[in-house]
């Protein structure tokens, strides 16, 4: 016989990917279903594009990645076309809006939920496939569309039981552009000048939380060396300009009206800046009219969003309750959703500008927040387990389980090797079973079954005062005909 060693494949998820089991799947689905109901109520229609797009259609809009094409999973077809996995849900929407522009209603409100893929270096808690949950309105230039997205976002959080624990912070890129003008890095006569510098300013402000004012000031000026010694080139702004930009990020005042007044001061003579402040005021007024006051929506100039393609309102939703970080320190849960207006994405395809605005919810972060608040609904109870005492009577056990299921009770027959009864109870335990059914040949002859309340049994095992439980035994014997009724009764009690 040959002694060649058989090389077996490794049973492993690829690096940066993961599997989701049972309650993890159910909890996410419950959350997405609730969100979809809110989106639906707002008139948004579902859209499901394929996971695969042409690289050409996807474009180079991957956020926060300096080498854009390297952030996607891509491969070349036999006919030389390059295909790739979508890296977000916005690029496919832009493609759809262009492809079906004659058929879709206009404005087109759509929502999308599904996985996206990023070819990034995986790290702890950093996966290369993750869920997004987006809602966008294409074809509406009015800021009423942006305000609607913010209101809807607030409704989503209320609906998920996070009322009082969130705030939607809004800002406007036009205000930032006004500030850029005032700081001398935007020439309204020639917007192509200083583009690189503005990109650096944008990304610098977006890191304010993480780097603090000094770090951002360094990036606005000559550049910044991080802890590892890596140097990031700055925007090269003179101190006076950096002052203007930093004043912008700190322009938030006690009320929206005061904040807007401060922003008007900062944008000075800039026409685009004044337009941005007008839009902010209009959004705030529309939201206030619907009852979304400053307890839920605030104007906050420190919100800029890292993406280059935003052109007007930008917004970010933050959860304000505190959690403990990995070092045991209290901190706010933080951002779980963000979006804004992007009027040029469809233009790439058609040459015609199409106004669009939308939001993306970070599904995993929001789910983590719900879990932290104890608000996830998993809907997963373990099944009732019908044990197998007598292999030859499998048909009887199947009949019992069939009756339980027809009564709407989650139930299964033990299908492993029935020889060792202890293994069957261990299995029931691992499955989180509330109840086990037992029928040996003696019980079968007498037409009865044993019904074991495993939840109660576990409590008794923990409890010191056994007497308390004596009037409610953990195991009862009933006629087979009472099986379903008795189990129903037990499950009802257990769920109290």
Edge-to-edge strand list for the sheet holding 448-453? 411-413, 384-386, 435-438, 448-453, 475-479
Residues 328-367 that bind a second copy (CB under 8 A): 348-351
Toward a second copy, which CB reaches closer, 29 or 488? 29
- Judged by CB under 8 A, the stretch of 146-154, 227-235, 254-262, 329-337 that binds a second copy is 146-154
Which member of 109, 169, 174, 203 binds a second copy (CB under 8 A)? 109
The per-residue DSSP string of 88-140 comes to: SSHHHHHHHHHHTTTTS-SSEEEEEEEEEE-----BTTB-SEEEEEEEEEES-
Interface mask (CB under 8 A) for a second copy, residues 83-102, using x and -? x-x---------xx-xxx--
Q: Total residues at the site for a second copy (CB under 8 A)?
A: 96
Q: Which is nearer to a second copy, 98 or 160 (CB)?
A: 98
Cβ 107 to a second copy, closest distance in Å? Answer: 5
Contact in structure between 302 and 205 (CB atoms under 8 Å):
yes
Cβ atoms of 86 and 51 closer than 8 Å: yes
Does 117 sit near a second copy (CB under 8 A)? yes
**Of the candidate residues 34, 59, 65, 334, the single one contacting a second copy (CB under 8 A):** 59
Q: Edge to edge, what strands does the sheet with 166-172 contain?
A: 108-117, 129-138, 356-362, 330-341, 313-324, 166-172, 297-299
Closest CA relative to residue 322, chosen from 361, 367, 372: 372
Two tokens, residue 5:
């060693």
Q: Is the dihedral angle over the CA atoms 145, 113, 366, 382 positive or is it negative?
A: positive
193-201, 366-374, 397-405, 481-489 -> range binding a second copy (CB under 8 A): 397-405
Applying CB under 8 A, does 75 fall inside the site for a second copy? yes
Q: Which position among 126, 144, 213, 261 is part of the footprint of a second copy (CB under 8 A)?
A: 144
Smallest gap, in angstroms, from Cβ of residue 63 to a second copy?
Answer: 19
Burial bucket for residue 225 (CB in 10 Å: 0-12, 13-18, 19+) = exposed
Residue of 3, 5, 19, 464 interacting with a second copy (CB under 8 A): 19
The enclosing H or E element of 287 equals: helix 271-289
Whose Cβ is closer to a second copy: residue 59's or residue 199's? Answer: 59
Interaction mask 208-247, a second copy, x per CB under 8 A: ----------------------------------------
Contacts to a second copy from residues 419-478, by CB under 8 A: 427, 430-431
The CA-atom distances, in angstroms, between 16 and each of 108, 117, 142, 173, 372 are 35, 10, 41, 34, 24
Query: In this complex, which beta carbon is closest to a second copy, that of residue 129 or of residue 450?
Result: 129
Q: In the range 398-427, which residues lie near a second copy by CB under 8 A?
A: 398-399, 402, 405, 408-417, 427
- Among 2, 5, 9, 254, indicate the residue that binds a second copy (CB under 8 A): 9
Instruction: Tell me if 128 contacts a second copy by CB under 8 A.
Output: yes
Spell out the residues 6+ positions from residue 359 whose beta carbon is closer than 8 angstroms to its own. 134, 135, 136, 149, 152, 153, 315, 317, 337, 338, 339
CA dist 52 and 445 (Å) reads: 61
Element (H, E) at 405: helix 394-406
Least separation in angstroms between CB 193 and a second copy: 17
Nearest-angstrom CA–CA distance, 404 and 263 = 66
- Min CB(209)–a second copy separation in Å: 30
Out of 142, 232, 302, 335, point to the residue binding a second copy (CB under 8 A).
142
Q: From the CB of 170, what's the least distance to a second copy, in Å?
A: 16
CB of 221 to a second copy, least distance (A): 34
Report how far residue 363's alpha carbon sits from residue 113's, in angstroms, rounded to the nearest whole number: 9
Distance of CA 260 to the CA centre of its chain: 31
8 is an interface residue for a second copy by CB under 8 A:
yes
- Give the CB-side neighbour count of residue 65, counting CA atoms within 13 A: 16
Least CB distance to a second copy at residue 358 (A): 13
Round to whole Å and give the CA distance between 133 and 35: 9
Tell me the closest approach of the beta carbon of residue 120 to a second copy, in angstroms. 12
- Residue 140 or 237: the one with the smaller Cβ distance to a second copy is 140
Q: Is 52 in the site for a second copy (CB under 8 A)?
A: yes
Q: Minimum CB separation from a second copy for residue 145, in Å? A: 5
Shortest distance (Å) from residue 203 CB to a second copy:
25
Binding to a second copy (CB under 8 A) within 268-287 occurs at 285-286
In this chain, which of 1, 2, 14, 210 binds a second copy, going by CB under 8 A?
Answer: 14
Contact string 152-181 vs a second copy (x = CB under 8 A) = ---x--------------------------
Q: Which of the ranges 159-167, 172-180, 389-397, 455-463 carries the binding residues for a second copy, by CB under 8 A?
A: 389-397
CB 185 within 8 A of CB 221: no
φ, ψ for residue 437, nearest 5 deg: -110, 135
Quote the DSSP letter at residue 296: T
């Amino acid at each position: 016989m040959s002694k060649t060693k058989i090389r077996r494949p490794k049973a492993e998820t690829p690096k940066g990917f993961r599997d989701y089991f049972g309650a993890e799947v159910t909890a996410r689905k419950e959350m997405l279903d609730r969100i979809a109901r809110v989106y639906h109520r707002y008139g948004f229609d579902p859209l499901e594009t394929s996971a695969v797009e042409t690289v050409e259609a996807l474009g180079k809009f991957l956020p926060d990645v300096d080498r854009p094409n390297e952030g996607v999973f891509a491969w070349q077809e036999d006919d030389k076309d390059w295909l790739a996995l979508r890296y977000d849900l916005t690029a496919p929407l832009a493609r759809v809006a262009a492809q079906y522009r004659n058929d879709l209603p206009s404005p087109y409100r759509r929502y999308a939920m599904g996985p996206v893929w990023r070819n990034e270096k995986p790290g702890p808690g950093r996966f290369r496939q993750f869920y997004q949950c987006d809602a966008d309105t294409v074809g509406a230039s009015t800021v009423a569309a942006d305000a609607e997205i913010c209101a809807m976002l607030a409704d989503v959080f209320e609906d998920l039981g996070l009322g009082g624990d969130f705030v939607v912070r809004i800002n406007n890129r036009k205000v930032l552009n006004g500030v850029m003008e005032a700081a001398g890095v935007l020439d309204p006569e020639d917007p192509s000048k200083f583009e690189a510098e503005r990109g650096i300013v944008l990304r610098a402000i977006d890191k304010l939380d993480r780097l603090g004012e000094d770090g951002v000031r360094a990036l606005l000026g000559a550049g910044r060396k991080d802890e590892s010694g890596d140097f990031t080139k700055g925007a090269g702004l003179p101190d006076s300009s950096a002052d203007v930009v930093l004043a912008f990020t700190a322009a938030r005042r006690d009320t929206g009206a005061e904040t807007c007044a401060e922003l008007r001061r900062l944008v000075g003579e800039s026409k685009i800046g004044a337009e941005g402040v007008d839009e902010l005021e209009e959004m705030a007024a529309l939201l206030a009219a619907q009852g979304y006051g400053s307890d839920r929506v605030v104007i906050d100039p420190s919100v800029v969003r890292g993406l280059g393609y935003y052109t007007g309102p930008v917004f970010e939703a933050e959860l304000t309750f505190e959690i403990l970080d990995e070092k045991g320190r209290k901190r706010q849960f933080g951002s779980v959703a963000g979006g804004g207006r992007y009027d040029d994405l469809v233009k790439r395809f058609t040459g015609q500008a199409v106004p669009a605005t939308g939001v993306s919810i970070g599904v995993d972060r929001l789910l983590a927040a719900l879990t932290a608040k104890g608000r996830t609904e998993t809907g997963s109870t373990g099944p009732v387990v019908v044990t197998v005492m007598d292999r030859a009577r499998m048909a009887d056990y199947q009949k019992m389980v069939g009756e339980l299921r027809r009564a709407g009770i989650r139930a299964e027959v033990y299908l492993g090797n029935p020889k060792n009864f202890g293994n069957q109870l261990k299995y029931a335990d691992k499955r989180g079973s509330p109840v086990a059914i037992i029928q040996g040949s003696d019980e079968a002859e007498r037409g009865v079954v044993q019904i074991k309340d495993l939840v109660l049994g576990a409590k008794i095992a923990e409890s010191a005062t056994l007497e308390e439980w004596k009037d409610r035994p953990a195991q009862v014997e009933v006629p087979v005909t009472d099986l379903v009724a008795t189990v129903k009764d037990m499950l009802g009690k257990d769920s109290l």
